[in-house]
Amino acid sequence: MAQKPKVDPHVGRLGYLQALVTEFQETESQDAKEQVLANLANFAYDPNNYQYLRQLQVLDLFLDSLSEENESLVEFAIGGLCNLCADRANKEYILQVGGIPLITNCLSSPNEETVLSAVTTLMYLSSPGAGSHPELTSLPVVQCMLRFSLSANVRLRNLAQIFLEDFCSPTQVAEARSWHAHSALGIPLPRTEAPQQP
């Protein structure tokens, strides 16, 4: 188990978040990186932290982490981005810096939580006020959502159906259904963990 971050509890919110970012950047331990990124993703859930997280460039840290080979880092990074997307400034930043392809790449993750967060993040980015970003509902994304809408995983199936109904036009869905070269067919469904027996 990784150690708790080495942070003075009296430094205040910004200081604490800065210490986490510094630890993430300086540590060589993968366990410590995972723990710190998980902590930052949790802090991203609180709107009181949005300004500090922008100031500390945590959005970039999350976006950069989406390209990591370590599945846990990707899971925590997309979870953090999903939490941050509720804020208009964060949403606009992600769209402006070209974060959409990094997020859509997460749709092919074998990790269920990563895929669920990626779908939810795409939904948040597609919501009103985001402006026109056709890549959010590109043909491969819609095909992927069609495939997910047939999943045995209820959470994934429901999210995909909402995405198709609320964020895609009937024409986009029909085109994706009729397209013969289904580029999304090669994307495996995420692993689901077996239910725990009591």
Whether the predicted pLDDT of 184 surpasses 90: no
Neighbours of 75 (CB within 10 A): 26
| Tokens representing residue 107 in the block | 């749709």
pLDDT per residue as tens digits for the range 105-125? 999 999 999 999 999 999 999
Average pLDDT over residues 46-70: 96
| Tokens representing residue 90 in the block | 């964060």
pLDDT per residue as tens digits for the range 19-48? 999 999 999 999 999 999 999 999 999 999
Average pLDDT over residues 145-156: 94
| Tokens representing residue 86 in the block | 């509720």
Q: Which band of pLDDT confidence, cut at 50, 70 and 90, is reported for residue 134?
A: confident
**Adjacent-strand bridge partners of 111:** 191
Q: Which band of pLDDT confidence, cut at 50, 70 and 90, is reported for residue 191?
A: low
Determine the Cα angle at 177 with ends 171 and 182, to 5°.
Answer: 125
How far is the C-alpha of 162 from the C-alpha of 184, rounded, in Å? 18
Per-domain boundaries in the chain = 10-112, 134-188
How far is the C-alpha of 58 from the C-alpha of 62, rounded, in Å? 6
Average pLDDT over residues 55-69: 97
Q: Select the more confidently predicted residue: 185 or 103.
A: 103
- 86 and 50 Cβ atoms separated by less than 8 Å: no
CATH class of 10-112: mainly alpha
- 23 and 6 Cβ atoms separated by less than 8 Å: yes
